[in-house]
Structure 1
């Protein structure tokens, strides 16, 4: 009988050491990362899987214009589902970490709104700079041409555009919540608990987050999307660790739709729907992994430079914020 009790205590002790840190009662950083990721990504993947399975059945019987409206409904539903996934991940992370949601970089201050708008401008500028680089390198031809979204009616086109923008904003917010606010913050704290210096801990956390963020895009675009998304993750992570708020990285990420718009990359295949643009890219060379990496490195360089300029101007200094390492 005594042996059974000792064995039980031993198993409990091993479980405690695996789950909890040495100095506090909170779960270890690795579990504070994995649990919110599992919840958020679970909802995210299920929502996209439902669209893949049933979206075509919804649109197939509809006429052309009705099909466009059906696609708008799907985009709106995805926006709600992805936003719910991000909120669920944030709530789980806050509960496990014993923090408020505001501690993860969300608030309703004027500075937050200012950072978001500045980030959107930075993302747009980096996208336009990359478009210009495409033309300068001879990879594509630029033409000034007003394009629509793929709908004949202006009213329907407006509805579709709003739905697509809502989805893109929800998607960028989800990714920044999960891969920057939750992953980088907790990974940095995990490194710090092992007596790693503050700056080194944050750099290590970013290094961990980048390939994980890239891997999310494997199903959507293969290895090329993984590599280029990982490069983009460096830019978004820099915007987060330099401000400690999600406003700037969400804005920079969302502003990248300018590049999607200029390249007329379809957001929906059947029916084919794109973001409107004043500048269209034509005669684009066959895309390759090396060309994609080259373009994203250009976008990263422009974006990082502008992020540093903005942070220095708005915050008065250029350093890793205490909010990320505390």
Structure 2
């Protein structure tokens, strides 16, 4: 095989999967840096002076990886928006609402169990204007994070890996490999977060499997985007838990984790503890049951491994 054929897929008129992934990383980093520098320069005189300005900057910076992922999908993968898992229609909206409800319910279950056995203490509950504004700001931030990370990790990375594997393995194996590798990347990406550890990295990897399951069973990002947004928001904006090691300092309910870190996750948040792991496993079961109820069967969507490229050709 010539070097050109090794790198380039003539039939699809694009780079082969391993090189697309490398190019995606380069594009995402470059776009994030450009946006970061641009935002920093444009708002250098007013940063810190206004909560609204800080919110806008945070939302844009959080979404920078998603913007980079979309640019990579457009010019490197040459894929359609629908093929990225955003074929938005009524069915997509129904699945999205299910994801929102499930993410919030799972985090509420963690809170309820923790409080009932004394692992989590409620310090205060308030709905004053400051708390409501803070919650709204966090919701905006987590919407940006949820869309960006799902587009990049599931819509681009998982799909590229699965597409690359389909030539050597059957569809199910290719999707499982894509699901596991993209989830591992998701876990490793959080290793630099405050209070991260090997345990938190493994649990975030499991969270990636839960999120990815909603994608590979439906072929759309509706369920994982919904779960990602509501899980994070209810975790940090409602119950005041740390979100993957990040303490945002504002929530409708103030709590203190006083149980063993092995169970509660300690300063990293519930995701690093057994409560979080249990919720993720329960979430996978709920996703599978929902898909069976809504679509009549539980199976990997083979279209995850088949790119839709015609729009860009």
- TM bucket (normalised to shorter chain) is 0.7 to 0.9
Task: Tell me which of 234, 237, 245 is aligned to 1:258.
Answer: 234
Describe how 1:166-177 pairs up with structure 2 within 5 A: 166-177=140-151
Counterpart residue number, 2:171: 198
Task: Tell me which of 162, 165, 168 is aligned to 1:188.
Answer: 162
Distance 1:179 1:308, change over 3 A: same
Cα separation, 2, equivalents of 1:49 and 1:264: 31
Task: Tell me how far 1:272 sits from its aligned partner.
Answer: 6.1
Task: Tell me which of 279, 285, 299 is aligned to 2:259.
Answer: 285
Counterpart residue number, 2:85: 105
2:295 pairs with 1:321: no
Task: Tell me which of 209, 232, 256 is aligned to 2:207.
Answer: 232
Distance 1:25 1:49, change over 3 A: closer
Task: Tell me how far 1:99 sits from its aligned partner.
Answer: 2.3
- The alignment of Structure 1 onto Structure 2 pairs a total of residues equal to 293
Counterpart residue number, 2:14: 26
Listed as ranges, the gaps of 5+ residues in structure 2 are 266-271, 307-313
Query: What does the per-residue CA deviation read over 1:79-135, in whole Å, with 9 as the maximum and x for residues that have no partner?
Result: 123335413322321333332112111133111111111100011111111223323
Describe how 1:32-71 pairs up with structure 2 within 5 A: 32-44=20-32, 58-59=47-48, 70-71=50-51
- In our comparison, the structure showing a higher alpha carbon Rg is 1
Listed as ranges, the gaps of 5+ residues in structure 1 are 1-9, 63-69
Counterpart residue number, 1:245: 220
Cα separation, 1, equivalents of 2:192 and 2:236: 19
Cα pair 1:33 1:183 within 8 Å, conserved? yes
Cα pair 2:59 2:140 within 8 Å, conserved? yes
Describe how 1:73-88 pairs up with structure 2 within 5 A: 73-88=53-68
Cα pair 1:176 1:246 within 8 Å, conserved? yes
Cα separation, 2, equivalents of 1:24 and 1:246: 24
Task: Tell me how far 1:172 sits from its aligned partner.
Answer: 1.0
TM-score by length of structure 2 reads: 0.80
Say which SS state the counterpart of residue 282 (structure 1) adopts: strand
Q: CA RMSD in A?
A: 3.3
Cα separation, 2, equivalents of 1:322 and 1:167: 33
Task: Tell me how far 1:58 sits from its aligned partner.
Answer: 3.5
Cα separation, 2, equivalents of 1:46 and 1:128: 38
Task: Tell me which of 259, 278, 291 is aligned to 1:298.
Answer: 278
Say which SS state the counterpart of residue 218 (structure 1) adopts: coil
2:203 pairs with 1:208: no
Task: Tell me how far 1:160 sits from its aligned partner.
Answer: 3.9
